[in-house]
Amino acid sequence: MKANEDVDDSTLGAFADHLIRQGVHGLIPLGSTGEYYALSADERERVVRVTLEAAGGRVPVMAGANAGSTRDVIAFSRQAERLGCAGVMLAAPYYSLPRLDELFSHFRAVNNAVGVPIMLYNYPGRTGVDMPPDFIERLAGLENLRYVKESTGEMPRITELLRRCGDRLGVFCGCDTIALESLMVGAIGWVGGVVNALPASHARLFELTADKKDFAAARKLFFEMLPTLELMEGGGKYTQWVKAACGLMGHDCGAPRRPLAPATPSERRRLREALSHVGEGRRAHLEK
């Protein structure tokens, strides 16, 4: 965001390029940390276009296409497909609190309307609706349901999803503080917000667990990252602090759009201290 709260296209494009150069394997614009809920329809389209252009085919771009109604989710999903996204990420529609039978009909309708992969996003802390593993297993029968981002923060959810439908759905960790355990037991990826501030460390942790299977080195790195991850997860200001942390790391993304407010000076000091535990943070010469 610019100082006047307009979307800053040039900074967004440059930042997407930075994340790719630091080793991240994919981008998901318009997720919850990406403030999709605070953007107009035109702004949402611009964000997707800018991100796709910046990525230039180097990594897949899977757009968040969430909204409050099935009609709008279908429209945003079709738009993402038309623009060239590799897929869409979908949480439960917010505020209306659909029951599971209604939610199944919702996802079935979106599935039937698009031809790209869908990543489920189970985040009851934000949406007010939980999608338990048996329900997600049922959804796995839909043709385009390929992935799930599990964000309850409950490690048994990850293992239960892997047991029930890991052969049909790629399971992604969606809670930063259990990322190491999730990757070690078979999650195929990690979708996070703090990766915006520490992209190289996140990519390195994935490489150590998924490719090299060097769990001792992965644990050492994760413990360095943990003060930042725990602060973000438990501080009650996730989006605000992610943006502040990006600025401390030398990539000013602006403040969030109101009603969210920028981090205070004391909060920035806490973030700076946490980031200093990570080699990537020390090398960045954290901004004061």
Helix (H) or strand (E) holding 121: strand 118-122
Taking CA atoms, 251 is separated from 96, 196, 248, 254, 263, in Å, by 36, 9, 7, 9, 15
The residue annotated as part of the active site, out of 36, 149, 238, 243, is 149
Of 36, 121, 147, 238, which residue is the catalytic one? 121
Between the CA atoms of 106, 111, 114 and 118, what dihedral angle is there, to the nearest 10 degrees?
Answer: 100
Helix (H) or strand (E) holding 43: helix 41-55
Q: Is 278 helix (H, G, I), strand (E, B) or coil?
A: coil
What are the two backbone dihedrals, phi and then psi, of residue 62, each rounded to the nearest 5 degrees?
-115, 110
Q: Which strands make up the sheet holding 145-150, listed edge to edge?
A: 62-64, 87-91, 118-122, 145-150, 170-173, 189-190
Q: Judge whether 149 counts as a catalytic residue.
A: yes
Nearest-angstrom CA–CA distance, 239 and 232: 9
Active-site residue list: 121, 149
